[in-house]
Structure 1
Amino acid sequence: MEGPAMAAPLDPVIAQIIPLLPLRDPTTMTPQSARDSLRALAAARAAVPPPPVDTVQDIKVKGGAGPLDARLYRIGSDPAPTVVFFHGGGWVAGDLETHDRQARNLAIETGAVVVSVDYRRPPETRFPGAFEDAFAAARDIFNRVAEFGGDAKRLGVAGDSAGGNLAAATAIACRDAGIKLAAQLLVYPVTDVAGHYADARENARFPSRAENADGYFLSRAVMEWFCGHYLADPGHGADWRVSPLRAASLAGLAPAIVATASFDPLRDEGAAYARALEAAGVRVKHHEGPGLIHGYFGLGDASDVARAEAQRARADFKALLARGI
């Protein structure tokens, strides 16, 4: 990230939305209240018709310990790329409903068959459950690609926030398993949870954790809360399956589109992951999200700035998928 001198100011439309957003008080938040508030946010838009796709189908896919619910989105019926999508929500909250519009926009703007996966969530299922579900689901979907997009040369993973974390870790696991991906779309991903956002020395490596600790929707304290639910053992923070920035090697990973937001505590670890991928010889395009906050892919109906930046990232992802492997 360039120095703050040229930084774009917070989008004024976003500034007005921030006070209306949930998940802001970790002192009173429970897993159920976090889930309910994200669901309520999605339900509040029920009067706005969702972006239309040709097919929406609830299906089952394999998880790490049994079948998972998933939802398939498709435009048309021609052979297409297949993208496995993991929703955000700090691993704890978020589901197929809260991210329905995001999955639809991904299908519409990339032409891919998008399969949104309902992985098991903490605290009921702790790390590495969500990761194991994400990788098992991706492997299952790619093994059955004829039922989806039908083109084994155009496979991708995508996700936002905790879902971006799962997509990044799944891309590493796919490389290790010999599954060739054409692209990964990592939207304001969590990439390094060592120290659980509570350790001053670890936090100092990413200045955005202090600069954007509070006041921009996602807070550093809420990230600490999420980690506390996902990770049963503090030592797990060093595991690449939850901290992909700590993987032994990022060489040979799928080309990546990384989107970050300037007013996001996760900004610098996302940027660090983009740089680390590039240093490992992976093709990367980084969208810095000037003037935007964490969660902006869900704010495109309200903010033109958010919509345009999300569309640019999805267009780049589409181009990678179209090229194939």
Structure 2
Amino acid sequence: MKQRTFCVIILILVLIMGCESNKKAIELQPTSQQTSQTPLESQLVKPPQSVNPLAPTESTKVATEPLKSELDISTVSKDNTNSIALNPYSLDKIEEILKKDKSVFDIIESPNKKAIAYMVSKTGTPTPYDDMTLQIWNVGDEKPRSAIGNLEFTAGDVYWSPNNDYVFVDTGTYVIHEGSLYSATTLDLVGVFEYFNHAYFSPNGKYIVYSSGNDQHSAIKTVKGEFIKPEQPFDLVLYNMETHQNTVLLKGTETKDYFAIGWLDSKTIGYRVSTYSAENNKLHWQDIQFAYDLSNQQTKAKADPIRK
């Protein structure tokens, strides 16, 4: 009996232990639902880091920063607006104003298009003896500048030096002209000339060549003097713009005149020699064109003689 009772107890203990083991196994084994809800480590999505809400993101930066082309356009537009507002006096605008002024004459632009030179008449209707004043109006300036003093006679021609540094004003109505040379920067009068026909700037603006029949020649009795006026001989004269000095290149005589006719280049002067003779109470002359080389002070004939 005792043995039977012991076996029953052993069987009960075995059953109890088997139930506990099955329970632990069931708890340790994941269910199919748990397996689908629990991702692998590689599948985990890390939570976003804390971001300052006021700081622009990369996409925000692209949207808020202007394109380079937009910056360039706005800058150019602003500069143009300022230029128009601060500099309304363009070359065309100044010329338009001057053309409407009845007291303005001989309007001429500088070679670099940065200024306009012109003459102003007191009366507005120039006569052969009307006083006129040189003025220069620089592009961008609100008003022009005036040379000090008035010219004695009505201006014939006004022209700039090729380098924009000087303005030459031709005056007078006689064969012997008078001319005034002004600094375009200061408008000071830097030279006064008496010359035949025309005065010529060199292409580089460093010299003026002209023909002069000055008072010192009045005592010379010329062959042509018995037939035509002016009777004095004419020299070929070179004016240096740097030193403001005159140099007589070729001196006129009783039978010869030297007339400037322009420049072949900045170192070569074109001129004409007139040689006179009188026969049977008539004046005869021969004209020959020459070139004068400043670098070696030599001359050579440029054309066949012209007999008259």
Instruction: Sort the TM-score into its range (normalised by shorter chain).
Output: under 0.3
Q: State the TM-score, normalized to the length of structure 1.
A: 0.26
Q: State the TM-score, normalized to the length of structure 2.
A: 0.27
Greater relative contact order (Cα < 8 A, sep 6+): 1
Bigger Cα Rg = 2
